[in-house]
Amino acid sequence: MGHLVNLTFRKAFVADIPQLIDLAKEIWLPTFAVYFSETELNSLFSGMYNTDRITADLQNPHYALHIVENTAQKPVGYFATAIKPTYLKLDKIYVSPKLQGQGIGKWIFDEIVRQAREQSLDSIQLNVNRRNAPAISFYKKLGFKIIRSEDIPGPNGFVYDDFVMEFEVSEGMLIKY
**What is the distance between the alpha carbons of residues 65 and 75, in angstroms, rounded to a whole number?**
13
Let me know if residue 127 belongs to a domain. Answer: yes
Let me know if residue 173 belongs to a domain. Answer: no
Tell if the pTM clears 0.85, that is, is over it: yes
Let me know if residue 133 belongs to a domain. Answer: yes
For 122-154, give the secondary structure using H, E and C. CEEEEEEECCCHHHHHHHHHHCCEEEEEEEEEC
CATH of the domain at 20: 3.40.630.30
Domain count for the chain, please give it.
1
Let me know if residue 40 belongs to a domain. Answer: yes
pLDDT tens-digit map of 143-175 = 999 999 999 887 777 788 899 999 999 754 554
Give the burial class of 120: count Cβ atoms within 10 A of its Cβ; 0-12 exposed, 13-18 middle, 19 or more buried: exposed
**Cβ neighbours of 80 (radius 10 Å):** 20
Q: What integer pLDDT is reported at residue 160 of this predicted model?
A: 82
* DSSP conformational letter for 174: P
For residue 10, the enclosing domain spans: 2-168
pLDDT tens-digit map of 92-145 = 999 998 888 888 999 999 999 999 999 999 999 999 999 999 999 999 999 999
H or E element at residue 109: helix 104-118
Let me know if residue 175 belongs to a domain. Answer: no
Let me know if residue 123 belongs to a domain. Answer: yes
Let me know if residue 174 belongs to a domain. Answer: no
Let me know if residue 177 belongs to a domain. Answer: no
